[in-house]
Amino acid sequence: MRTAAHEESGTDSVKSVLTLESGQSPMGVVLAAFARPAMWELTTDSRTHAEGVLETTIIYMPLGGEKPVAITEDVPFRATYDFAVPEGSWTTLSVEDTEAIQITGERVELKCNVRLQAQVYETTDYTLALDAELIEEGHEIPGGVTLY
């Protein structure tokens, strides 16, 4: 059985500017922003560095439009954390506090916090009963029974 023995976690802020592709409707109002991290490299010295992409989606109302529009873009990131990930850790990367701030009708700044969680697990061995025997009828089993 595995049980968590030690955990480290931290966040680093990531910023990027996204630009609409030509032909896309200019932004009127940004409605929502979402980001999901995909990590491709994790290195540790006295600190930990994570690299990957943020799979982002921004939903906005186009200028003069009546239906919302969604754009998606992979945004490269590099985050640094003030702890060293112990060897053999299970790591999880997540995004918190995603915010999109409109700069112009074609540009938006994406801000978010990328959280790294590293857990070290201990393994404990247990002995389990793998065989059981049927007790003959009339054989007394020590103990008591309470009926309600």
Tell me the pLDDT of the chain (148 aa) as tens digits. 556 577 889 999 999 999 988 888 889 899 999 999 999 998 988 899 999 999 999 999 998 888 999 999 999 999 999 998 888 888 899 999 999 999 999 999 999 999 999 888 777 777 777 777 777 776 666 676 676 6
Q: Which two three-digit tokens encode residue 44?
A: 């540790």
**What is the DSSP-derived secondary structure letter of residue 66?**
S
Asked if residues 10 and 94 have their Cβ atoms less than 8 Å apart, the reply is: no
| Sheet strands (E) in the chain | 2-19, 27-44, 48-62, 69-81, 90-102, 107-123
